[in-house]
Amino acid sequence: MNLLAIDTATEACSAAACVDGRWAERFETIGRGHTDALLPMVQAVLAELEAELQGIDRIVVGRGPGAFTGVRIGVACAQGLAQGLGRSIVPVSSLEAMAWQAAREHATLPIDVAVAIDARAGGVYFASYHVEPNALPALRVSERVCAPEAVPALSSDCVLTAGTGWARHPDALSRAIACPQQASDVTLPTARAMAEMALLGIPAVAAQCLEPTYLRDQVVHRPTVSPS
């Protein structure tokens, strides 16, 4: 199956393609400007593989959670590409993709992975997974946005960590999960990881049925300090 994957849900912007078993990918941490950066990345990966959009069987997109504008840009672009080509879309969680990538780069599986992305306003997007070889991550703690100290404790001998949240809130997250941790080098999601997960069997949906994940209907509550 030939895939084109895009992700703009965080401060990273990335695109990846798999055509006839060959891969090309682009990744850049840009903060803002995803709209301008994304389509040139798509064109670059297709050109590297000497492929055309019409030869793509399925579009893969990061559905969030992440920044509202970033998630919206990726979803809108994926819908436009899919509708223009008459193709379906594979929506992939930003957090699950990071768990997959961190586990894939780890020498020993199975392993538990805890993913925390800085959500600004003192919060994190968090979820945890159990990853077996050649299988999609199994969700252990559901996706949520919360204060780092409100992350659930985990029952594991050792947890592999991924995401920008661990650098931003190391002490609060470590205390909250209450088990030994091993840091990975994965800080932001990549389109390549999302495409790999699509090949493992994440279900596709029609373009008009694609639902982004914002999580911002959940409120990060932090204690306030009254002035003395």
Task: Give me the mean pLDDT over the 206-214 stretch.
Answer: 95
* 164-to-4, 66, 101 alpha-carbon distances in Å: 25, 12, 14
Q: What is the pLDDT of residue 227?
A: 40
Report d(CA 191, CA 187) in Å as an integer: 13
Residue spans of alpha helices (H) in the chain = 34-48, 68-85, 94-104, 165-168, 170-177, 191-200
- Per residue in 46-62, pLDDT (tens digit) is 999 999 999 999 999 99
Are 7 and 43 within one domain?
A: yes
Are 178 and 101 within one domain?
A: yes
Q: What is the pLDDT of residue 218?
A: 45
Report d(CA 83, CA 60) in Å as an integer: 13
CA 48 to chain centre: 24
> Whole-structure pTM over 0.85, yes or no?
yes
Are 88 and 100 within one domain?
A: no
Q: What is the pLDDT of residue 215?
A: 86
Are 60 and 112 within one domain?
A: no
Q: What is the pLDDT of residue 106?
A: 82
Are 75 and 7 within one domain?
A: yes
Report d(CA 8, CA 66) in Å as an integer: 9
Q: Which of 55, 76, 65, 67 is nearest to 6 (CA)?
A: 76
Domain of residue 111, residue span: 95-183
Task: Give me the mean pLDDT over the 140-145 stretch.
Answer: 97
Task: Give me the mean pLDDT over the 16-23 stretch.
Answer: 98
> 113 - beta bridge partners?
129, 160
Side chain identity, residue 60:
V
Q: What is the pLDDT of residue 194?
A: 98
Q: What is the pLDDT of residue 224?
A: 39
Report d(CA 149, CA 32) in Å as an integer: 28
Are 200 and 170 within one domain?
A: no
Task: Give me the mean pLDDT over the 180-207 stretch.
Answer: 97
Report d(CA 33, CA 52) in Å as an integer: 25
pLDDT-derived band of residue 105, with 50, 70 and 90 as boundaries? confident
Task: Give me the mean pLDDT over the 126-134 stretch.
Answer: 95
Side chain identity, residue 13:
C
Indicate whether 217 belongs to any domain. no
Report the share of the chain in percent with pLDDT over 90.
89
pLDDT-derived band of residue 69, with 50, 70 and 90 as boundaries? very high
**Predicted confidence (pLDDT) at residue 223 exceeds the cutoff of 60:** no
Specify the CATH number for the domain of residue 199.
3.30.420.40
- Torsion over CA: 227, 217, 34, 18 (sign): positive
Number of folded domains in the chain? 2
Q: Provide the token pair at 24.
A: 């090309």
Q: What is the pLDDT of residue 217?
A: 52
Side chain identity, residue 130:
H
Indicate whether 22 belongs to any domain. yes
Are 132 and 164 within one domain?
A: yes
Are 75 and 101 within one domain?
A: no
Are 32 and 71 within one domain?
A: yes
Q: Which of 99, 118, 104 is nearest to 11 (CA)?
A: 118
pLDDT-derived band of residue 152, with 50, 70 and 90 as boundaries? very high
Write down the mean pLDDT value for the chain.
Answer: 93
Q: Are 116 and 166 in contact (CB under 8 A)?
A: yes
Q: Provide the token pair at 73.
A: 């840009």
Report d(CA 98, CA 190) in Å as an integer: 8
Are 106 and 135 within one domain?
A: yes
